[in-house]
Amino acid sequence: MSSNNNLLDVIIVGAGFAGLYGLYKLREAGFKVQVIEAGDDVGGTWYWNRYPGLRCDVDSLEYSYAFSDELQQEWRWSERYALQSEIHDYIKFAADRLDLRRDIRFGTRIASATFDSAAGQWALVAEGGETFAARYVVMATGPLSVPNKPHIPGLDSFAGQLVHSVQWPAEPLDLSGKNVAVIGTGSTGVQMIPLLAQEAAHLTVVQRTPAYTVPARNQEWNDARIAYWRDNFRELRQTARETRAGVLHEYGMYPAATVRPEDREADLERRWVKGGPNVLYGFSDLLRNEETNELVAEFLRGKIAAAVKDPAIAAKLMPYEYPVGTKRVCVGTDYYETYNRDNVSLIDLRSEPLKQIEPDGIRTEQGFYPVDVLILATGYDAMTGALLAIDIRTTGGTSLRSAWADGPQSYLGLGIAGLPNMFVVTGPGSPSVFSNMVLSAEHDVEWISDCLEYLRERGFPTIEADRAAQEAWMDHVDAAARGTLLNRAASWYRGANVEGKPQKFMPYVGGVNTYQAKCRAVAAAGYEGFVIGAATAGQRTGGEHQAAAG
């Protein structure tokens, strides 16, 4: 076991978009910061995930850092929906351009983090035993990194190659001449299925619940578009922050009932042709009004009927059991058309239940499908998985795993009662995955940095979310979701995709704009809802910032 005795101001866990910006911002503010990262490179989810067809479903010009003029002007995105390789290249470029790597420890996975209440500092222990100490910890562990590995009967007996989409091998998989099967038809399945079908001898898709899928209509950016963005990015980014999703969608202002039927249809069609998630933003009440929702759902089902030649297969691909938008809508290319290929079979588990996985294939109640390569596209233990993978506790007896036994509790997604001096970026209780993640990560990092400067200037050594403020915020988070149709789906937003996980709607859906205004008000009121502690005598001895107390 080795010990790193240098007391840092801040340890950031994770070197994805959030952790890298955290390092840059806090270093600029004069803090001594170290990032600890399990992977061997920067990138976070864009480092680990590398399955074929992986793209972000947010426009590349928006899914990138806004804080730096240099990055904005020097990087040129090639396409509307960038591939993983391009996003990863961008993150590496940012890390190099900002000289971040020298303060990142790679290949080091944190196993536990304990706050010593008497000393007022965190001790983090990595797998392998190395320890790190800091006054503050920022968890930039990301909402989508821990794979969801479902219990499927017979899975352990499978004798072929088993791959989880989240842990895709670094070397490309050779699928030519092989019988390939994919379990899962969320965003991951929808992105990879058309490409796997082109490569495999035969592709079998196992669908438990059909997804609503919209066409990406991906395209290369032309120079005029890039120039426009570079010239106007400050205003564009600010405008995005003032929207409810943190993305520059064309937001419809009116409920569907107030629009003439022929205009509704024409607008949906126009948005469908534009591609991406545009079709979801036509009416202001998609997630609040069942009739509006059904109107859009039926429009999307009609598109499935038009794309898939065999009406029986088309029917299997149509979602009916949950309102559109209550699970993340998938953005794909040629997804439905892929089912017109001769080398693709669809197992719809609703009409053809699974018996078991066998060493050489999949047995359902109707038949047997030979499989050489089995791909689990079964998603993530989202939002809480990475945080709960670390044993986070205090010497005073608080444990995150106990505190979150019935689901996550946080104040603004940023702080957790009982865990002083720990912040979370895009945590449960913040807009997080219900927004443009890069924009939200930037906001949270800036808020945390301002908060740490505030504490430093005043010589306050500890800050912790107040329990009553946290409860009130979580009630508000619950109420925001209950005011919508979002609890109608067994989605990963609610933890429903992971066996045994407590079900609770985790992201804050009241809007990025509303959330950021609330965070500003909290900060302006001297971090209202947080308990800010004065230094104890013991903490003062080692304190770097006490001189500025006042």
- The correct pick among 84, 421, 426, 497 for binding ligand NA7 (CB under 6 A) is 497
Q: CA–CA separation, 461 vs 532, rounded Å?
A: 8
Least spacing, CB of residue 50 vs ligand NA7, in Å: 13
We find the least distance from the C-beta atom of residue 456 to ligand NA7, in angstroms, to be: 36
**Residues 1-20, interacting with ligand NA7 (CB under 6 A):** none
Closest to ligand NA7 by CB, 322 or 530: 322
Q: How far is the CB of 523 from ligand NA7 (least distance, A)?
A: 29
**DSSP label at residue 147:** B
* Nearest to ligand NA7 of 148, 410 (CB atom): 148
Cα–Cα separations (whole angstroms), residue 12 to 91, 331, 500: 17, 32, 29
Report the chain's C-alpha Rg in angstroms: 24
Count how many Cα atoms sit within 13 Å of the Cα of residue 159 in the half-sphere of its side chain: 5
- The DSSP result for 509-527, as a single string, is -S-HHHHHHHHHHHHHTTS
Site map (CB under 6 A) of ligand NA7, residues 401-440, x = contact:
----------------------------------------
Among 179, 188, 213, 333, binds ligand NA7 (CB under 6 A): 188
Residue 162: CB atoms within 10 A of its CB come to 14
- Rounded to a whole number of angstroms, the minimum distance from the CB of residue 57 to ligand NA7 is 6
Q: What's the min distance (Å) between Cβ of 21 and ligand NA7?
A: 20
Structure tokens at 382: 């989202």
**In the structure encoding, which two tokens stand for residue 494, read together?**
């609610």
Q: What is the DSSP letter of 94?
A: H
Which residue stretches of 376-433 are H helix?
385-388, 400-403
Among 19, 52, 120, 184, the residue binding ligand NA7 under the rule CB under 6 A is 184
User: What does the alpha-carbon distance between residue 109 and residue 424 come to, in Å, rounded to a whole number?
Assistant: 17
Tell me the C-alpha distance between 512 and 276, whole Å: 20
Find the binder of ligand NA7 among 145, 187, 292, 394 (CB under 6 A).
187
Q: Using CB under 6 A, which of the segments 172-180, 184-192, 361-369, 472-480 binds ligand NA7?
A: 184-192
What's the min distance (Å) between Cβ of 322 and ligand NA7? 9
Q: 163 - beta bridge partners?
A: 375
Binding flag, residue 185, ligand NA7 (CB under 6 A):
yes
Question: Distance (Å, rounded) from C-alpha 403 to C-alpha 82?
Answer: 38
d(CA 539, CA 532): 14
Choice from 42, 183, 259, 387 touching ligand NA7 (CB under 6 A) = 183
Amino acid at 246: G
Owner of token pair 């995709």: 497
**Residue number with CB closer to ligand NA7 (107 or 367):** 367
Beta bridge partners of 539: none
Counting residues that bind ligand NA7 (by CB under 6 A) gives: 20
The residue among 31 and 492 lying less far from ligand NA7, judged by its C-beta, is 492
What residues contact 500, with CB distance under 8 A and at least 6 apart? none
Window 194-213: contact mask with ligand NA7 (x via CB under 6 A): ------------x-xx----
Q: How far is the CB of 66 from ligand NA7 (least distance, A)?
A: 20
Distance between CA atoms of 323 and 289, rounded to whole angstroms?
10
516 lies in the binding site for ligand NA7 (CB under 6 A): no
Half-sphere exposure of 196 (CA within 13 A, CB side): 29
C-beta closer to ligand NA7: residue 286 or 448: 286
Least Å distance, CB 378 to ligand NA7, is 4
- To ligand NA7, the closest distance from the beta carbon of 136 in angstroms equals 29
> Residue 166 or 452: which CB sits closer to ligand NA7?
166
Check if the beta carbon of residue 511 is closer than 8 Å to that of residue 431: yes
Site for ligand NA7 in 119-148 (CB under 6 A): 144
Euclidean distance between CA atoms 297 and 212, whole angstroms: 8
Measured distance CA(431)–CA(421) in Å, rounded: 22
Minimal distance in Å, beta carbon 158 to ligand NA7?
Answer: 14
Site string for ligand NA7, 350-379 (x = CB under 6 A): ---------------------------xxx
Question: What is the rounded CA–CA span in Å between residue 453 and residue 29?
Answer: 8
179 binds ligand NA7 (CB under 6 A): no
Q: How many Å apart are CA 101 and CA 104, to the nearest integer?
A: 5
Interacting span for ligand NA7 (CB under 6 A) from 34-42, 179-187, 243-251, 528-536: 179-187
> Counting contacts by CB under 6 A, is residue 492 touching ligand NA7?
yes
Shortest CB 328 distance to ligand NA7, Å = 3
Phi/psi for 268 (5° steps) reads -60, -45
Residue 300 contacts residue 497 (beta carbons within 8 Å):
no
Let me know if 446 is exposed, middle or buried by CB neighbors in 10 A (0-12, 13-18, 19+).
middle
Nearer to ligand NA7, 328 or 545 (CB): 328
Q: In a 3-state reduction of DSSP, which class is residue 44? A: coil
Q: Which stretch binds ligand NA7 (CB under 6 A): 182-190, 233-241, 393-401, 443-451?
A: 182-190
Minimum distance, C-beta of residue 298 to ligand NA7, in the bound complex (Å): 20
Return the residue of 55, 328, 494, 504 that touches ligand NA7, per CB under 6 A: 328
Question: Taking CB positions, which residue lies at the least distance from ligand NA7?
Answer: 186
* Nearer CB in complex with ligand NA7: 332/543: 332
Q: What are phi and psi of 448, to 5 degrees?
A: -65, -40
Sketch the per residue contact string, 154 through 173, with ligand NA7: x for CB under 6 A, - otherwise: --------------------
Q: How far is the CB of 161 from ligand NA7 (least distance, A)?
A: 19
Instruction: List interacting residues with ligand NA7 (CB under 6 A).
Output: 144, 150, 152, 183-189, 206, 208-209, 328, 377-380, 492, 497
